[in-house]
Amino acid sequence: MTVDLLLINPFLHPDLVVYPSGPGLVEGRLAPAYKQDIRAGGAAYTGKVAAQFGRSVSYLDWVGDDMFGNVTIAQLSAMGHETSGIHRYTGQHMVCVSVADSRSQGATMVATYPPDWQRSFAEISDGIQGAPSATDAYVYSWFWSFAHPDLQEAPTAELMAEIHRRHGRTVLDPNWKPDGPPPPHELAELRKSLPLVDVLLPNTRDASLLVGDHDPPEQVRRLLGLGPAAVVLTAGGTRAYWGEANDGRVYSIPTLQVDVIDTTGAGDAFGGALVGATRDLPSSVAIACATASLTTAALLGDGPLPNDSLRTQSAQLLAEMEEHR
C-alpha cells in the first residue's frame, strides 16, 4: 500500500480548548468557560489540512490506551485517515492540553507525561520499517520523537536514513519546544541527518539551535549549507523564507493580514498546506502562509482546498515575493 502522506512520530494528542467566560485565565485559578472542545491536536491538524488538499494520510505514532487516545484515533478515523500505524500503550495514558483564550492572541499548553513513557529505538525503527511507503514522509518533530533520555546515545540519524530510503520526499520539522538547548548528541545526529532531508521546515528558534542567531535570510543560507535540498523557515507569523540548494537564492513572502483569534494550530496548518498543495515551492509556501493565517482567524473551514478564496489570497501573497541578496 502507498499513501500520499505519512506523518512519522507526530506527537499525536488531543487539545482541550477552553474559552473563558470571565476576565481570562489567571495562573493557579480555575476559570468558568462558555465553550469547551476536545479535538485532535498536534500533527493531527497537519494531517487534517493535508487531507483537505486531497492527500491520503497515514500515521506512525504511539498513544495511550485511554480516553485521550480513543478521542484522537476516533477523530482521525472519522476524517478518513489511516490509523492502523497508531500503536496503543496498554495501561498508559498521556495528557496534553492546550488552553486557549479566544479573547487573546495566544495559547498556553500544559503537558504531563508518565515517567516511564519512552519509545525505544527498536520500537521506532520497527515502526518505520513496517509503515506503508509514502509519496511524502513528514517527520513532525525530530526532538519530540528522538530526544527522549533513552535515545540520547542512540544512532537516530539511522532512522532518518531509513525514512529517506523508503519514501519519496522527506520533510523534517525540528520543532524544538522545551526550554534550553537539545542534548548535544541529538543535535549532532540531527545535523548528520540533514543531507537526507528534501524539505527542512524550521522556525527561527530551531534555526538558531542549528546555525546560530542571524537574520532569517542568513539562517536559510546557512541551513542550506548543512545539506537539505530545500529550507522553508517560518518567522513568527509575519513572513516565510525559503531557498533551494540547486538555486542558492533566498526569497520570502508575507502572511495575510487578518484579525487573529487564536494562533493554536497555525504552524501545523502551514505544514499541512506545504506538503498538501503543490510541489512548486514558491506556490506551496504562498498557499501555506495563507492557510496558516486563515487558521488564526478561524476562517479556514473544513471543506476541500484550495477553494477560490484561498487561490486568490495565495496569488496576492506570491505577487509580494521578495528576493534577499
CA-to-CA dists, residue 61 to 118, 125, 163, 262, 284, angstroms:
12, 12, 14, 27, 26
Give Cβ neighbours of residue 85 (< 8 Å, ≥ 6 apart): 6, 58, 59, 60, 61, 127, 130, 131, 132
- Is 128 inside a domain boundary? yes
Q: Tell me what the mean pLDDT of segment 83-91 comes to.
A: 84
Q: Return the SS3 of 158.
A: helix
- Is 19 inside a domain boundary? no
- Is 29 inside a domain boundary? no
Do residues 175 and 142 touch, judged by C-beta distance below 8 A? yes
Please tell me the distance from the alpha carbon of residue 132 to that of residue 146, in angstroms, as a whole number. Answer: 21
Q: What is the pLDDT of residue 189?
A: 85
- Which residue shows C-alpha cell 500500500? 1
- Span 265-300, pLDDT tens digits: 888 899 999 999 989 999 999 999 999 999 888 788
Instruction: Specify the number of domains making up the chain.
Output: 1
* pLDDT greater than 70 at residue 86: yes
Specify the long-range contacts of residues 280-285, CB closer than 8 Å, at least 24 apart: 281/230, 281/232, 281/242, 281/244, 282/242, 282/251, 282/253, 282/318, 282/321, 283/314, 283/318, 285/232, 285/240, 285/242, 285/253
Please tell me the distance from the alpha carbon of residue 163 to that of residue 154, in angstroms, as a whole number. Answer: 16
Strands (E), 101-167: 107-112, 133-139
- Is 216 inside a domain boundary? yes
Q: What is the CATH number of the domain that holds 231?
A: 3.40.1190.20
- Span 113-142, pLDDT tens digits: 454 556 677 888 888 899 989 999 999 877
Please tell me the distance from the alpha carbon of residue 66 to that of residue 14, in angstroms, as a whole number. Answer: 11
- Is 300 inside a domain boundary? yes
Do residues 168 and 137 touch, judged by C-beta distance below 8 A? yes
Share the mean pLDDT of the chain: 82
- Structural domain that includes position 300: 2-11+47-61+115-324
Q: Tell me what the mean pLDDT of segment 227-256 comes to.
A: 94
Q: What's the pLDDT band for 188 if we cut at 50, 70, 90?
A: confident
Residues 253, 254, 259, CA angle at the centre, nearest 5°? 155
Do residues 234 and 240 touch, judged by C-beta distance below 8 A? yes
- Is 306 inside a domain boundary? yes
Q: What's the pLDDT band for 103 if we cut at 50, 70, 90?
A: very low
Do residues 288 and 274 touch, judged by C-beta distance below 8 A? yes
Burial code (b: 16+ CB inside 10 Å, e: under 16) for 171-192 equals bbbbbbeeeeebbeebbebbeb
Phi, psi values for residue 232, rounded to 5°: -125, 115
Q: What is the pLDDT of residue 320?
A: 95
Q: What is the pLDDT of residue 140?
A: 84
* pLDDT greater than 90 at residue 19: no
Q: Tell me what the mean pLDDT of segment 252-267 comes to.
A: 86
Q: What's the pLDDT band for 207 if we cut at 50, 70, 90?
A: very high
Specify the long-range contacts of residues 305-313, CB closer than 8 Å, at least 24 apart: 305/49, 305/52, 305/53, 305/273, 305/276, 305/277, 306/53, 306/277, 313/256
**DSSP code at position 297:** T
Q: Return the SS3 of 75.
A: helix
Do residues 276 and 53 touch, judged by C-beta distance below 8 A? yes
Half-sphere exposure at residue 93, Cβ-oriented, CA atoms within 13 angstroms: 8
Q: What's the pLDDT band for 17 if we cut at 50, 70, 90?
A: low
- Is 68 inside a domain boundary? no
- Is 35 inside a domain boundary? no
* pLDDT greater than 60 at residue 109: no
Using only the alpha carbons of the chain, give its radius of gyration.
19
Q: What's the pLDDT band for 22 if we cut at 50, 70, 90?
A: low
Q: Of 267, 294, 274, nearest to 98 (Cα)?
A: 267
Please tell me the distance from the alpha carbon of residue 15 to that of residue 104, in angstroms, as a whole number. Answer: 17
